[in-house]
Structure 1
Amino acid sequence: MKWQGINEFVAVAENQSFSLAAKHLKISTAQVSRQISALEKRLQVKLFYRTTRKVSLTQEAQLFYQHCRHLLDGLDTAEQAITNLQSKPQGKIKLTAPVTYGEQKILPLINDFVALNSDIEVTTELTNNRVDLIDGGFDIAIRLGQLQDSSLIAKKLSQRSNFVCVSENYLQKHGEAHSLSELKHHNCLLGTRDYWRFTEQNKEKNIRVKGNLRCNSGLALVDAALKDIGIVQLPDYYVQSYIESGKLVTILDQFREPAEGIWAVYPQNRYLSPKIRLLIDHLAEHLK
């Protein structure tokens, strides 16, 4: 009983016309008018101002419309969820990720995902720029580190840690830095920032460092460290294999900042489609 007239009310509100609402609902204008009149009587409030040329909402109707639109959207979402349960995930997915992390970690998993789900087509764009998902038409973005406040929904996939690394040959020539203040005496290889991040006595610390090489490529900085040029601070996915092989060693581990999250973010749609959920779950499972 309480749903009676809601569809007609929303249709009139959105079309600003009884006849257009009737056409949209595929019923008669007289039926729309009867339902609106019954709804106004039940609510004991006037919903529309009507003239021969225009239909507009009253102040009470504007508030009522917001709630009714939300209810109808929720009903559509519920119906879509049931429908999707019965169907096999298929269609297109557009994803963006940072360049190096995308190449090393995300794209191999995307390839595995496509091999397992031949009805899903995935397009991946790698960029270190923070793109707008809506404007770019992206379904998912992979983001590293601290997230900015936004209306996007985020799911944590994994985490990363920053390591300060150096070669044994460099240490033999220049000695080891045992405190953050000693970094000023060393050749620190820089990326896009002129400071490194640490934690000291449970407080975040940004330490300005200097060196004779600056580059916006983590791979190039790793190469420079391997060639004994200086010290680097980089995320684990750049240096983990070299640490394990002994080609690089870590220093200042006691000042390492807590691990940061690696996230899949996506627009706050009314319903997360099965294909998107399937890909996010796939990434989360294999990036643990």
Structure 2
Amino acid sequence: MRDRFSETLSFIRIAEARSLSVAARRLGLSLAATSRRLSQLEARLGVPLIRRNSRHLTLTDEGRLFYERAGRALSEMEDAELAVMRSATDAAGTLRVVTTIAFGRRRLGPLLQHYAMLHPDVKVHLETTEQNASIIEGGYDLAICFEPPADSTLTMKRLADNPRVMCAAPSYLDRRGRPQSVADLAMHDQIAIDTGHHKLWRHVKAEDVAPRRTLSTNDGELARIWAIDGAGIVVKTAWDVAEDIEAGRLETILPALPLPSSPIVALYTPAQGDTAKVRNCLRFLADQLRGDRAQPAAAADDRPSVAALGR
């Protein structure tokens, strides 16, 4: 196959130059080697491609046909190589991103819209999902999720920390009272999210005192709606409820109580991490997300993680 490509390339250069000696110089070959490649190609195809005389070379009908088609193929191959090499240095092409529905609508969607404006050669496609999504099977370049999942062959980059807050609707707090200490939580109802939130409540227990678990769900958005409707106290990430707190739909409880932050991470294959569109997007998102809440960002780390999108 390598000899076949070399023969074809030599013929195209000869056809372009209409001279064996000029083609040989452009190819960096001797005149004899260039002539030998042409003879081998003609022997393999079984037809003469070039007419030779003492002054110049001309293409036969078969030579013109082969030049046109092989020339286009070579040009497309060269364009493909340039495009691939460009992807390592210039942000271009389609960037496919997947994340959770709520985060996609509230935070990531506007950020990626801004990123696309800054990089007109990049076409951004954002998908949101309620289910875990495989980057490889889904053909995504990036998955943006919360909570570092278990290890795998994917690379994980920590983009920012998303602080958590305990909150409830003013109507609920007017009815049940506003907790002044952790012990007061025993008199209240808890809205639990079944994604490891039982671990969160360990941080707010005092002598095994915690809110009574009255409602639970695996849907973080439903938990937020329940809280706004006055069903109880919920622990949510700050970005999830920032607008609700600002609008007065929710009210923070025990703001001085330390709660573990929820890391925002990007998952991608090692190969995708070498492309400019992914590298640039990761830098952009890290800068924007860390600046949003003026939270001290943990040092970004790259390590293996899973092919799943966490909630």
How far 1:120 sits from its partner (Å)? 1.3
Distance 1:86 1:221, change over 3 A: closer
Q: Alignment partner of 2:230: what SS?
A: coil
Quote how far apart the aligned CAs of 1:116 are.
2.3
Task: Please say if residues 196 and 233 of structure 1, whose CA atoms lie closer than 8 Å, have aligned partners that are also in contact.
Answer: no
Structure 1: gaps of 5 or more residues? 1-19, 28-78
The 5 Å alignment of 1:160-175 reads 160-175=162-177
Q: Which structure's relative contact order is higher, taking Cα pairs within 8 Å and 6+ residues apart?
A: 2
User: Structure 1 residue 140: deviation in Å?
Assistant: 0.7
Q: Paired residue for 1:155?
A: 157
Shift of 1:83: 4.5
Structure 2, gaps ≥5 residues long? 8-80, 291-311
Query: Is the deviation greater in 101-110 or in 191-200?
Result: 191-200
CA contact (8 A) 2:96 2:139 kept: yes
Counterpart code for 1:235: T
Alignment of 1:168-183 (within 5 A): 168-177=170-179, 183=185
Q: How many residues align?
A: 213
SS at match of 1:165: strand
Matches within 5 A, 1:187-206: 187-192=189-194, 195=198, 197-198=200-201, 200=203
Indicate the RMSD between aligned Cα atoms, in angstroms. 3.6
Over the matched positions of the two proteins, sequence identity in percent amounts to: 25
**Contact 1:160 1:260 (8 Å CA) reproduced:** yes
Give the Cα separation in 1 of the matches to 2:191 and 2:173.
Answer: 15
User: In the superposition, relative to structure 1, how do residues 89 and 217 fare at CA in structure 2: closer, same or farther (>3 Å)?
Assistant: same
d(CA) in 1 for partners of 2:254 and 2:122?
Answer: 46
Instruction: Note the alpha carbon deviations across 1:113-135, whole angstroms, 9 max, x for none.
Output: 22222221122111132222112
Question: Which range moved further: 181-190 or 134-143?
Answer: 181-190
**Residues 195 and 208 in structure 1, CA contact (< 8 A), matched pair in contact too:** no
Q: Look up the equivalent residue of 1:268 and give its one-letter code.
A: P
Distance 1:97-1:270 versus aligned 2 partners, 3 A rule: closer
The aligned residue for residue 270 of structure 2 is 268
Contact 1:141 1:264 in 2 (8 A): yes
CA deviation vs aligned residue, 1:89-117 (integer Å, no higher than 9, x gap): 21111111111011111111111122222
> Quick check: 1:199–1:256 contact (8 Å CA) kept in 2?
no
CA contact (8 A) 1:99 1:126 kept: yes
Equivalent residue letter for 2:213: K
Q: Could you tell me the TM-score, scaled by structure 2's length? A: 0.57
- Aligned partner of 1:92: which letter? T
The CA distance in 2 between the partners of 1:270 and 1:244, in whole Å, is 38
Distance 2:257 2:245 in 1: 18
| Aligned AA (1:118) | P
Q: Is the 8 A contact 2:146 2:264 kept in 1?
A: yes
**Aligned partner of residue 94 in structure 1, secondary structure:** strand
Q: For residue 270 of structure 1, report the CA deviation from its aligned partner.
A: 7.8
